[in-house]
């Protein structure tokens, strides 16, 4: 399959131009800040025709896709991520013939990704509006779909602005911003949800202290989610810093070369994202089919009954099931049904993480064979071994397959434990945010070093 058929359409798609000069660090910071502020503002704008009401559920989807249901970013970066994954998998599996090493090939790929993103934005917006019945007046459905799809298309261009004029990527910025906003809200919000009760943990703690009704178990129950969040955050930061470095030399000359780092989180957060997205589809199927928890099967049509029974067995009798385990299960761990539910949830989630982790490195140029080929092309070799791609591959095979499985299990377990402990922002959200912020910190360091001396900037630009 060839992507040349989309080339005539690409010229009709607007594009953010590349800067024709060096962009100073302060200007990059300014563009990133402006885009983040616009993202937060878009999360408060409701499409014309949609009633402003709280929409429950789909928390995991809102975290992964940086979306806020009911607003113009109801599908968030979902179309961007979906289009990117589809095209990368097609290219990685050789189903699409395109050379990404050339500027023309990369431009064609990016243009095709934009077109696919726009198509998916309208499709996902239609599925969401119709499936969740966001519009009371059917005559306004098309207009609301257009507004929500337009919101995702605007996010696509905002991501392009950050990538070319700012720091990091817009997608990472949106995810980290959304999760951080959720954590701050759940811990510090003074908004009253009911008389004498606040949305934030800290205000509730202050209220109990002022009323002199604070007991140890009340304190423990209130503070524990914050403590769990901090612990998971620190563990993820520690894991991000762990790496194994394989020494490399240029032309067999010792002391001239570098190191190839193999991070402990070699597969990054990708297995958790894909596993969560797959399991989330079960809940989406039931909601899009018009099935709600507690609904009587006698009220369902034939299609709804088929979806319901499939979902019933997949989720152990709970339509939300393995998607969002309840932290209150800890009080009922001796219940055989609850224990079985948790075991199945953990095993299924981690197994999916391992499968997606192995699949991801094979399709994104991270396998031992592909890395060995890259090292050989760069003229590097491993000291003490002859310069041969097969030799390099054999050395890498000692580490990469094992670290792929270990890191997939590690990120899966961290996400599961954070969810079960009730950490703020969810385990997936914390994993994503910490990884994004850690890479953003490294990039800011490089930018600041480049600002210190122009010669270093020229060196970094070549690496």
Rounded-to-integer distance, Cα 280 and Cα 321, Å:
10
pLDDT (0 to 100) of residue 288: 57
Q: Kindly give the confidence (pLDDT) of every residue in the chain, 463 residues in length, as a single tens digit, with 9 standing for 90 and above.
A: 677 778 888 888 888 888 888 788 888 889 999 999 999 999 888 888 776 665 555 666 777 778 888 889 988 888 887 887 778 777 766 777 777 667 777 788 888 889 999 998 998 888 888 777 777 777 788 898 999 999 999 999 999 999 889 887 888 888 888 888 888 888 888 887 777 778 788 888 887 777 766 666 667 777 888 888 888 888 888 888 888 888 877 765 555 567 888 888 888 777 877 777 666 656 656 555 555 555 666 667 676 666 666 655 554 344 344 445 554 454 555 666 667 767 777 888 888 888 888 877 876 678 888 888 888 877 777 777 777 788 888 888 888 889 999 999 988 888 888 877 777 877 778 877 887 888 788 788 777 776 666 555 554 454 4
Q: Which two tokens stand for residue 215?
A: 């007991």
DSSP code for 327: G
The number of angstroms, rounded, from the C-alpha of 99 to the middle of its chain's C-alpha atoms is: 27
Helix (H, G, I), strand (E, B) or coil at 250: strand
Q: What is the pTM of this model?
A: 0.74
Which phi-psi region, left, alpha or beta, contains residue 240 (left: φ > 0; alpha: ψ -120 to 50)?
A: alpha
Rounded-to-integer distance, Cα 460 and Cα 40, Å:
33
How many CA within 13 A on the CB side of residue 17? Answer: 3
| N-to-C CA span, the chain | 33
pLDDT (0 to 100) of residue 450: 67
Rounded-to-integer distance, Cα 98 and Cα 154, Å:
27
Which stretches of 87-230 are assigned E, i.e. beta strand? 192-194, 197-198
pLDDT (0 to 100) of residue 39: 93
Query: Residue ranges of the alpha helices (H) in 289-367?
Result: 302-314, 336-363
Task: Check the CA dihedral 131-156-431-40 and report its sign.
Answer: negative
Record: fold of 3-183: Preprotein translocase SecY subunit (1.10.3370)
Shortest CA distance to 273 belongs to which of 61, 439, 436?
61
The ranges assigned to domains in the chain are 3-183, 242-423
CB 333 within 8 A of CB 341: no
Rounded-to-integer distance, Cα 189 and Cα 202, Å:
8
**What are residue 246's DSSP bridge partners?**
260
pLDDT (0 to 100) of residue 462: 46
């Amino acid at each position: 399959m060839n992507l040349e058929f989309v080339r005539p359409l690409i010229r009709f798609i607007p594009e953010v131009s590349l800067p024709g000069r060096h962009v100073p660090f302060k200007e990059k910071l300014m563009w990133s800040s402006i885009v983040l502020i616009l993202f937060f503002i878009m999360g408060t704008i409701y499409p014309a025709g949609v009633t402003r009401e709280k929409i429950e559920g789909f928390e995991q989807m809102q975290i992964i896709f940086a979306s806020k249901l009911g607003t113009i970013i109801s599908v968030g970066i979902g179309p961007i991520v979906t289009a990117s994954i589809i095209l990368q998998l097609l290219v990685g599996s050789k189903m699409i013939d395109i050379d990404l090493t050339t500027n023309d090939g990369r431009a064609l790929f990016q243009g095709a990704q934009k077109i696919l993103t726009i198509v998916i934005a309208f499709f996902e917006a239609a599925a969401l509006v119709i499936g969740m019945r966001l519009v009371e007046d059917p005559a306004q459905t098309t207009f609301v779909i257009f507004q929500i799809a337009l919101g995702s298309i605007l996010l696509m261009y905002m991501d392009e602005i950050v990538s070319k004029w700012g720091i990091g990527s817009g997608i990472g910025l949106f995810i980290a911003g959304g999760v951080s906003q959720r954590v701050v809200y759940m811990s510090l919000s003074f908004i009253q949800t009911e008389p004498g009760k606040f949305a934030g943990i800290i205000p509730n703690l202050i209220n109990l202290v002022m009323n002199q009704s604070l007991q140890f178990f009340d304190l423990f129950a209130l503070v524990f989610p914050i403590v769990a969040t901090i612990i998971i955050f620190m563990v993820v930061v520690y894991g991000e810093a762990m790496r194994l470095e394989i020494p490399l030399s240029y032309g067999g000359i010792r002391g001239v070369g570098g190191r190839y780092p193999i991070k402990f989180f070699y597969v990054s957060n990708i297995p958790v994202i894909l596993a969560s997205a797959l399991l989330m589809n079960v809940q989406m199927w039931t909601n899009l089919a018009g099935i709600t928890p507690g609904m009587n099967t006698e009220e369902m049509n034939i299609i709804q009954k088929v979806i319901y029974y499939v979902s019933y067995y997949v989720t152990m009798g709970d339509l939300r099931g393995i998607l969002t385990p309840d932290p209150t299960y800890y009080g009922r761990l001796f219940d055989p049904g609850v224990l079985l539910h948790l075991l199945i949830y953990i095993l299924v989630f981690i197994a999916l993480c391992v499968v997606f982790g192995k699949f991801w490195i094979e399709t994104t140029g991270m396998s031992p064979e592909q890395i060995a080929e890259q090292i050989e092309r760069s003229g590097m070799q491993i000291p003490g071994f002859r310069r041969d791609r097969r030799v390099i591959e054999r050395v890498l095979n000692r580490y990469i397959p094992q670290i792929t499985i270990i890191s997939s299990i590690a990120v899966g377990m961290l996400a599961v434990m954070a969810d079960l402990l009730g950490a703020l922002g969810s385990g997936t959200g914390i994993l994503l945010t910490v990884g994004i912020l850690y890479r953003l910190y490294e990039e800011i360091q490089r930018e600041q070093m480049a600002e210190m001396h122009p010669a270093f900037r020229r060196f970094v630009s070549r690496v």
